[in-house]
Amino acid sequence: MDINALFTDEGLRAFTATVRDQHIRDAQQYGQIADIVRSRLEQTPIDGDRWLSKRLRAWKVARQLKAMQKASGEAASKAEALYATYVNEVLELPQRRAVAEAKRLERKSGRQAAVGAAVAGSLNRTVTALHTPQEQPAGTVPQARPTEFVTPDNPWQQWPMAAGDERPPSTINDYFAKGDGQ
């Protein structure tokens, strides 16, 4: 067998078909031998046997042949799995990678377009906000009258002092003089 032939599609297909067929034939032979051995041992008494001894002995011996049949069947399926895995992992891999790369580039360009649209929308909102009239910003309610600062000349003399020299409650006007900050 040429080892280099195993690395081609036709060579590996031929090898796995040969191995699969051999294991299937072996499995069939093991099954036939197991049936023959079981039936003959069930009919052959050995001195000192009880009523189920022959059947139990036949089952124990035939069970080993059935295990060989099962192993050969699994080996045949593993030969097919070998070919399928080779095709999937070696022969079709470059094509799958090219398709994945194309999808990745498509997603990337879609993301870039979405980011560009978001930036353009943000800039548009900024320009619109900067060109609105300054006298009344958008979305605000106009005030009926401007804010007034009302402070008495001397807050301590405005209210009469109660018994016990209590101080009247403080207001914001006590701390800021009239007109500060305008």
Residues 134 and 89: their CA atoms lie apart, in Å, by: 67
* 180 part of a folded domain: no
pTM: 0.53
Give the gyration radius of the chain's Cα atoms.
48
Q: What is the DSSP string of the chain?
A: --GGGGGSHHHHHHHHHHHHHHHHHHHHHHHHHHHHHHHHHHH---TT--TTHHHHHHHHHHHHHHHHHHHHHHHHHHHHHHHHHHIIIIISHHHHHHHHHHHHHHHHHHHHHHHHHHHHHHHHHHHHHHTS-SSS-TT-PPPSS-------S-HHHHSPPBTTTBPPPP-GGGTS-TTTT-
Quote the domain boundaries for residue 98.
93-129
Q: How many domains does the chain have?
A: 2
pLDDT for 135 equals 63
- Specify the pLDDT at position 21: 96
Please check whether residue 58 lies inside any domain of the structure. yes
27 and 68 fall within a common domain:
yes
In a domain, 158, yes or no: no
Q: Is residue 42 part of a domain?
A: yes
**Structure confidence by residue, pLDDT tens digits, 114-148:** 888 888 888 888 878 777 656 655 666 655 566 66
Domain-located, residue 54 = yes
Tell me: do 25 and 75 sit in the same domain: yes
Same domain for 71 and 120, yes or no, is no
Same-domain pairing of 13 and 81: yes
Question: Whose structure tokens read 């079709």?
Answer: 92
23 and 62 share one domain: yes
Tokens of 102: 């194309």
Q: pLDDT per residue over 76-95, tens digit each?
A: 999 999 999 999 999 999 99
Residue 14 lies in a domain: yes
Residues 98 and 83 in one domain: no
* Residue for token pair 């007034």: 148
Looking at the domain assignment, is residue 78 inside a domain? yes
Whether residue 101 is found in the same domain as residue 45: no
Structural domain contains residue 69: yes
pLDDT greater than 70 at residue 29: yes
